[in-house]
Amino acid sequence: MTSNSMTLEWDEIVCLDQNGPITEYRVDYGVDGLPITSIVTADREITLTGLLSDESYSVRVAGSNRVGIGPFTQPLIVLTPIAGNFVSIYRHCIV
């Protein structure tokens, strides 16, 4: 994680909780008071870039398939470091 980027990785959805094979994941993130950004990916890892320094970001993930989008995870709140600082963290969003 840097002051303007973070990499997220999450576990695969348990088969019993799927309504068919997962084809992609939707990642929603944003800062309070600003519009939410949504990214769709087939991977279980994503790097968010262009973030603001020293801000609390809310991040959530949902799996989707031919039936539609599933429930989102509980939001994970992540604070980006102040510009010039580097922080290494490893977190999982469980979907």
Domain residue ranges in the chain: 5-94
93 has a pLDDT exceeding 80: no
> pLDDT category, 95, cuts 50, 70, 90?
very low
Residue with tokens 């840097």: 2
Tens digits of residue pLDDT in 47-91 = 999 999 999 999 999 999 988 998 899 999 999 988 765 554 444
Q: How far is CA 83 from CA 2, 29, 37, in A?
A: 8, 20, 22
Tens digits of residue pLDDT in 1-42 = 888 999 999 988 777 666 788 999 999 999 987 889 999 999
Q: Across all residues in the chain, what is the average pLDDT?
A: 84
CATH number of this structure's domain 5-94, picked from the four choices 3.40.50.620, 3.65.10.10, 3.50.30.20, 2.60.40.10: 2.60.40.10
Q: Which helix (H) or strand (E) holds 1?
A: none
pLDDT of residue 20: 82
Q: How far is CA 5 from the centre of its chain?
A: 12
DSSP for residue 2: B
Question: Any bridge partners for residue 72, and if so which?
Answer: none
pLDDT of residue 35: 85
Task: Catalogue the E-assigned strands of the chain.
Answer: 5-11, 24-31, 37-41, 45-49, 56-65, 68-69, 76-79, 92-94
